[in-house]
């Protein structure tokens, strides 16, 4: 039976037990509407401050970033408006729990968590929970009203895989229930999806790049008794079918969602710090590549400098191949491309020459340096020496350069590379 058929069969399904099992707290406020419940939880960012018991113990020792720190972190992870974040409308951390996984149509949104800073050192976590299938429209209308009041051109959404799942699904359900028109974009705001930068930094630093895995490995956040994504779907169906018998299942999903939302801020902060100060050479190279993707050559080159220094020191040292050599060569090629894009062609040529000396015959470096020598430096004899030394020389380039040089003497390639690999005086 399809999801749509199951929903239609239930109609106004489960009863509405909206009483929370969480202990009373001055930091928790509950309200709601027809078929849903909204709970607001004020959370101090400092782990030294007591946090509401409804959050459980998972986040007890985790420091969350203050508002200006999170704004700075998000600015380093994505292209945001040049004006920067808006203090009056800070970023919105968002996560959905639904009855269907990625690619399934008709998935019902059952739990929504959203959080934003209400003070530099305080977050407000708002959680909407569906209490009957027929209440989804009212719940999403209330959610939409809250989001419209919070987001804008300078206040981004922050999600984990939200570009593929959360935001497209939320748009579809808002349109499906008539909350917005099909021609409207109800979520018009910048979006920082943390999954792509996480993959670029840590794609092989663990079994996978799931949020829970990154929390454990990068934040030292270990969830106790947590539920996985597929299990969330099953628990939500069980709860919708038997709300009284499955109230504990719902509580587990709500707790999972709260941790998901709040950990986004800690993960963004951690990624920002690692983009500025990587922990090892592999992460340093990946961070530089990430800055390159965002068209930030200065921080990229600054991160590459230790690897470039090692590349320069290794000239003629007889270092054998290995992981360190691969990283130095990759750093040299990346630095050359960054310099070329900035119009600093001699600086780029220096990096290509260093790679050629480190790995004689390197096809990419020899080809790039030969192009520079032929077309920019106008030194065809040197270009021919470099092009001919490539492991995979371009026959057309060799023929053209031989015609241009004629009977002129061709300098030894080591002499050419040595001259270009040294910094200009």
> Does 342 score more than 70 pLDDT?
yes
Instruction: Give residue 102's pLDDT.
Output: 54
What is the C-alpha separation between 387 and 407, in angstroms, rounded? 17
Q: What is the CATH number of the domain that holds 86?
A: 3.30.420.10
Q: Identify whether residues 18 and 53 lie together within a single domain.
A: yes
CA distance linking residue 149 with residue 88, whole number of Å: 11
pLDDT for residue 89 is more than 90: no
Residues 146 and 287 occupy one common structural domain: no
Higher-confidence position of 284 and 88 = 284
Cα Rg, the chain, nearest whole Å: 28
Same domain, 24 and 133: yes
For residue range 348-359, list pLDDT tens digits in order. Answer: 999 999 999 999
114: left (phi over 0), alpha (psi -120 to 50) or beta: beta
Note whether 147 and 295 are same-domain residues: no
Q: In the prediction, which pLDDT does 296 show? A: 96
Q: Which of 276, 291, 323 marks a domain boundary? A: 276
| Nearest Cα residue to 257 out of 116, 112, 144 | 112
Examine the domain organization and report whether 222 and 344 are in the same domain: no
> Both 313 and 394 in a single domain?
yes
Higher pLDDT, 105 or 304: 304
Residue 85 has pLDDT above 70, yes or no: no
The domain that contains 373 carries what CATH number? 1.25.40
Which pLDDT score is estimated for 64?
Answer: 97
Q: Are residues 254 and 320 in the same domain?
A: no
The arithmetic mean of pLDDT across residues 165-169, rounded, is: 93
State yes or no: pLDDT of 366 exceeds 60: yes
* One domain, residues 286 and 272: no
Mean pLDDT of 128-153: 90
Identify whether residues 172 and 243 lie together within a single domain.
Answer: yes
Q: Which pLDDT score is estimated for 163? A: 94
- Structural domain of 316: 281-421
Q: What is the pLDDT of residue 16?
A: 38
Give me the pLDDT at residue 242, please: 83
- Res. 106: pLDDT tops 80: no
Q: What is the 3-state secondary structure (H, E, C) of the chain?
A: CCHHHHHHHHCCCCCCCCCCCCCCCCCEEEEEECCEEEEEEEEECCCCCCCCHHHCCCCCCCCCCCHHHHHHHHHHHCCCCCCCCECCECCEEEEEEECCCCCCCCCCEEEEEEEEEEECCEEEEEEEEECCHHHHHHHHHHHHHHHHHHCECCECEEECCCCCCHHHHHHHHHHHCCCCCCCCCCCCCCEEECHHHHHHHHCCCCCCCCHHHHHHHHHCCCCCCCCCHHHHHHHHHHHHHCCCCCHHHHHHHHHHHHHHHHHHHHHHHHHHHHHHCCCCHHHHHHHHHHHHHCCCHHHHHHHHHHHHHHHHHCCCCCCCCCHHHHHHHHHHHHHHHHHHHCCCHHHHHHHHHHHHHHCCCCHHHHHHHHHHHHHHCCCHHHHHHHHHCCCCCCHHHHHHHHHHHCCCCCCCHHHHHHHHHCCCC
Distance, CA of 144 to CA of 150 (rounded, Å): 10
Q: Indicate whether 109 and 235 sit together in one domain.
A: yes
**Mean pLDDT within 407-421:** 95
Q: What is the mean pLDDT of the chain?
A: 87
Regarding whether 85 and 55 lie in a shared domain, the answer is yes
Q: How high is the pLDDT of residue 29?
A: 67
Last residue of a domain, one of 276, 308, 325: 276
Number of domains in the chain: 2
**Environment class of 360 (CB within 10 Å of its CB; exposed 0-12, middle 13-18, buried 19+):** middle
Residues 299 and 217 placed together within one structural domain of the fold: no
pTM for the model: 0.87
Cβ(27)–Cβ(42) below 8 Å: yes
| Residue 246's pLDDT band (cuts 50, 70, 90) | confident
Percent of all residues in the chain with a pLDDT value above 70, rounded to a whole number: 86
Q: Which of 149-153, 214-218, 301-305 has the lowest mean pLDDT?
A: 149-153
- Of the three residues 249, 276, 303, the one that is the final residue of a domain is 276
Average pLDDT of 359-387? 97
Nearest to 239 by CA among 228, 248, 226, 230: 248
pLDDT digits (tens, 9 = 90+) for 41-69: 999 999 999 999 888 888 888 999 999 99
- Look at residues 161, 117, 169, 120 and name the one whose alpha carbon lies nearest to residue 143: 169
């Amino acid at each position: 039976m399809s999801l749509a058929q199951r929903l239609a069969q239930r109609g106004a399904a489960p009863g509405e037990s909206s009483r929370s099992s969480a202990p009373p707290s001055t930091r928790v406020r509950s309200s709601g509407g027809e078929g849903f419940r909204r709970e607001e939880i004020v959370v101090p960012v400092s782990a030294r401050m007591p946090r509401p018991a409804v959050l459980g113990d998972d986040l007890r020792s985790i420091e969350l970033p203050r508002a200006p720190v999170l704004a700075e972190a998000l600015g380093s992870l994505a292209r945001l408006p040049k004006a920067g974040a808006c203090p009056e409308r800070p970023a919105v951390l968002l996560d959905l729990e639904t009855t269907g996984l990625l690619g399934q149509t008709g998935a019902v949104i059952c739990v929504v968590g959203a959080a934003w800073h209400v003070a530099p050192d305080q977050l407000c976590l708002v959680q909407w929970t569906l209490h009957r299938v027929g209440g989804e429209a009212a719940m999403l209308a209330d959610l939409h009203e809250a989001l419209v009041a919070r987001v804008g051109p300078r206040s981004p959404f922050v999600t984990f895989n939200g570009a593929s799942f959360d935001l497209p699904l939320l748009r579809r359900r808002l349109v499906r229930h008539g909350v917005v028109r099909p021609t409207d974009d109800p979520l018009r705001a910048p979006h920082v999806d943390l999954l792509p930068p996480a993959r670029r930094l840590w794609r092989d630093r663990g079994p996978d790049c799931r949020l829970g895995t990154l929390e454990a490995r990068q934040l030292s956040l270990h969830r106790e008794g947590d539920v996985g994504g597929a299990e969330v779907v099953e628990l939500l169906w069980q709860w919708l079918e038997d709300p009284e018998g499955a109230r504990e299942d719902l509580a587990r999903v709500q707790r999972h969602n709260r941790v998901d939302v709040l950990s986004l801020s800690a993960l963004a902060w951690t990624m920002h710090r690692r983009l500025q100060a990587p922990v090892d050479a592999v992460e340093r190279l990946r961070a530089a590549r990430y800055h390159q993707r965002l068209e930030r050559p200065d921080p990229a080159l600054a991160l590459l400098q230790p690897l470039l220094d090692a590349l320069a020191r290794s000239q003629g040292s007889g270092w054998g191949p290995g992981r360190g050599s691969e990283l130095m060569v990759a750093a040299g090629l990346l630095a050359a491309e960054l310099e070329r894009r900035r119009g600093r062609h001699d600086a780029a040529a220096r990096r290509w020459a260093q790679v050629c000396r480190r790995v004689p015959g390197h096809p990419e470096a020899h080809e790039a340096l030969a192009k520079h020598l032929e077309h920019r430096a106008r030194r065809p004899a040197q270009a021919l020496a470099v092009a001919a030394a490539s492991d995979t020389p371009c026959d057309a380039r060799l023929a053209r350069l031989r015609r241009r040089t004629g009977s002129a003497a061709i300098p030894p390639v080591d002499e050419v590379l040595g001259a270009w690999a040294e910094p200009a005086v």
